[in-house]
Structure 1
């Protein structure tokens, strides 16, 4: 009787499928295998990214301002430019980030009143001024906080005023640059009702005037008819 050797393909295949489990495919873990996992939550990224953009813009302005100050003072412009750019970057980033945090903590920018926005901007300015004072020295903390708080509140008050003025202009006039040169005027529902009432009053007045003219014509016709009848009666010969 022939015995199957260990190298027989049938025995090898049976041993492979009977003695060992088939490898199973491991489920992919979302965020780890995909390589697209974010280090910060979306809420924090929504604050960090705009704040860095604002800080970068402020830092660029600080570079030019520092270079100009260095040239005017006869100092190395590169050194002044780097120092001023770093300070302006820190102020812009900290101010805008703390402002967004304050808005979110108070319920969101869309739900805040102009006064609440001014308060939040003042708090953000105080925080940014405190950070700027720490960078320049402990003696500059209180003056920097007061100055930046007033600057933030004043800037937000000015922005609120411009937004209110733009809203009033958009509600009264048509949007667009050529609106004031257009011969067509946009009317609201109340203005349209008033216009219709005025036209209706004019029509009623015209009807009343026409009624008076018709009445006068009828009176003149009746008077003329009576006059003819009286003349014809007087001209008839008397009967015997």
Structure 2
């Protein structure tokens, strides 16, 4: 039985399982919910209200916001992987074309949409229908601004890392120049250099021992001579 060459040569599609996205969303929601509990408790203590009630409400709000935001954002950025999973479930052949990493623009768009969705859900669950549109607008702005700030910090970090790499390569070029008084050694070259120095020290110690032995022999000879 021969296999189909087209099927064997085609790259495997990257499949994204909804359970993995759900688990990561619940994990993020748990972290944000814990932060909400702390903030709610502090708010209740400051305002003189029951801290347990404020902590429960704030924890529910932040858990809903965090999990909904991360689930929506992950689903948008991994939509092709989810489509491949859906094709497999239907028994169809998934798209095996290469999946490129998400661009900065796509990440900003996904964060903005996810912010709006999470804001609308939180407003609908914990507030009223009249708060849905303001919640969508506000959280969309938060998602847009937050992703932009993250990308800005990431670009600055990458630029500083590239600068350090360029400085290091410039120093190495200078050190490798034949006019440079210093030279950059590899580990093997440095080990060989240490071995050569150790060998020279051993030779010098052997010469010193030989000289000491000669002096000792010269001191012993007069004592062994004939006495009058």
Q: CA deviation at 1:109?
A: 9.4
1:236 aligns with none
Counterparts of residues 165-180 of structure 1 (less than 5 Å): 165-174=156-165
1:123 is aligned to 2:113:
yes
CA distance in 2, matches of 1:78, 1:96: 27
1:138 aligns with 129
Q: Deviations over 1:97-121 (max 9, x none)?
A: 1000011127899622212111110
2:17 aligns with 43
CA distance in 2, matches of 1:143, 1:57: 25
Deviates more, 1:128-137 or 1:99-108: 99-108
2:33–2:61 CA contact under 8 A, matched in 1: yes
Considering only CA atoms, is the larger Rg found in Structure 1 or Structure 2?
Answer: 1
1:103–1:109 CA contact under 8 A, matched in 2: no
2:150 aligns with 159
Counterparts of residues 1-240 of structure 1 (less than 5 Å): 43-105=17-79, 111-135=101-125, 136-174=127-165, 186-187=168-169, 192=173
Kindly indicate whether structure 1 or structure 2 has the higher relative contact order, using CA contacts under 8 Å at least 6 residues apart: 2
Q: Deviations over 1:136-179 (max 9, x none)?
A: 1111101111111000111111111111111111112049xxxx
Misfit runs of 4+, over 2 Å = 105-110, 195-199
1:91–1:128 CA contact under 8 A, matched in 2: yes
CA distance in 2, matches of 1:101, 1:86: 22
Unaligned runs of 5+ in 2: 1-14, 82-97, 181-228
**Structure 2 vs 1, CA of residues 155 and 131 (structure 1 numbering), >3 Å: closer, same or farther?**
same
2:16–2:78 CA contact under 8 A, matched in 1: no
How many residues in Structure 1 have an aligned counterpart in Structure 2?
Answer: 148
Unaligned runs of 5+ in 1: 1-40, 176-184, 200-240
| TM-score (norm: length of structure 2) | 0.58
Q: CA deviation at 1:63?
A: 0.6
Q: CA deviation at 1:89?
A: 0.3
